[in-house]
Amino acid sequence: MKALVTGGAGFIGSHLTDMLIESGAEVHIIDNLSTGSRNHVNPAAKLHVVDINHDMASKIIETERPDVVFHMAAQVDVQRSITDPAYDSKVNIVGTVQLINACKKAGVGKIIFSSTSAVYGVSKNGRNTEDTPPAPISYYGLSKSTCESYFRLFHAMDGINFTILRYSNVYGPRQTSKGEGGVVAIYMNNLKKGLPLFVHGSGNQNRDFIYVQDVVKANIAAINQGDRETINISTGQRTSINNLVHLLNMIHEPSFEVVHGPERPGDIMDSCLDNAKAEHILGWRPKGSLFEGLKQTYQYNVDV
């Protein structure tokens, strides 16, 4: 099997590349290295340093004609999307449309698209299911929701096969505190530098934290399953930011300072995804606990 991973030098994409190569796949990577790193690229993969918006990215897809494309390259910083929505839409929407069109020309068998819980916005009925209507409160969430609509329309008009995976809050080794960094990566970076952990607002906001290896396994499962489906990839468990800080306090010594500040625009108070569909369609379930995942991430980032 020949696979192409956009954003394959990044956090999730590099882990996915490793697993694909371990399974015997030929892997090509398209990454502009704006947030990704050459150090994360598996030496068995072919790295093409090019922006997803550049015509060369489309030419690579049309030349290599991969069997499956994992589209992970994106602008994922919620706050940047709010301050610069034009850039967010250029990377996420325009880049995705160009990629789909290139895949159509190349006869790609399937595109697996990395989406986000941010498409749901504020949770009103507990855990969001895939039937919950999108109601994003950030331009990032809106751009991802728009991309999803493009996939569905491309299928209706051109027969493009796809699976959309909506991730909850992914964390793990190789995640940076810049660009694609979630709160876990930011906290790990601060712990390494001996800085206090900053909590926006009350700290009672909930997140559904999922370990990166679980996300990778969901992508692998989607190669042969979940055609034309939209599927949540999550633990289905809520963890408050305050509880996250508590767990990190159990892992890290000595104790650290916690500083509270104002809430940020675009932040969601309660985000948790139902994962029953993933288990039913992909035969996938997350493994391990948040505490164990945090320990592994800590050992990679801090305890070295």
Q: How far is CA 254 from CA 15, 189, 195, 249, 291, in A?
A: 31, 15, 12, 8, 18
Q: In degrees, to the nearest 5, what angle opens at C-alpha 34 toward C-alphas 30 and 38?
A: 65
The beta-strand segments (E) located in 91-133 are 110-116
Task: Say which of 140, 171, 211, 298 is annotated catalytic.
Answer: 140
Evaluate whether 85 touches 138 at the Cβ level (below 8 Å). no
Give the single-character DSSP code of 119. Answer: G
Q: Cβ contacts of residue 50 below 8 Å, gap of 6+?
A: 30, 31, 32, 56, 57, 60
Q: In degrees, to the nearest 5, what angle opens at C-alpha 61 toward C-alphas 55 and 67?
A: 160
Evaluate whether 78 touches 118 at the Cβ level (below 8 Å). yes
- Catalytic residue status for 140: yes
Q: How far is CA 282 from CA 96, 119, 224, 262, in A?
A: 24, 21, 9, 40
- Which residues have a catalytic role annotated? 140
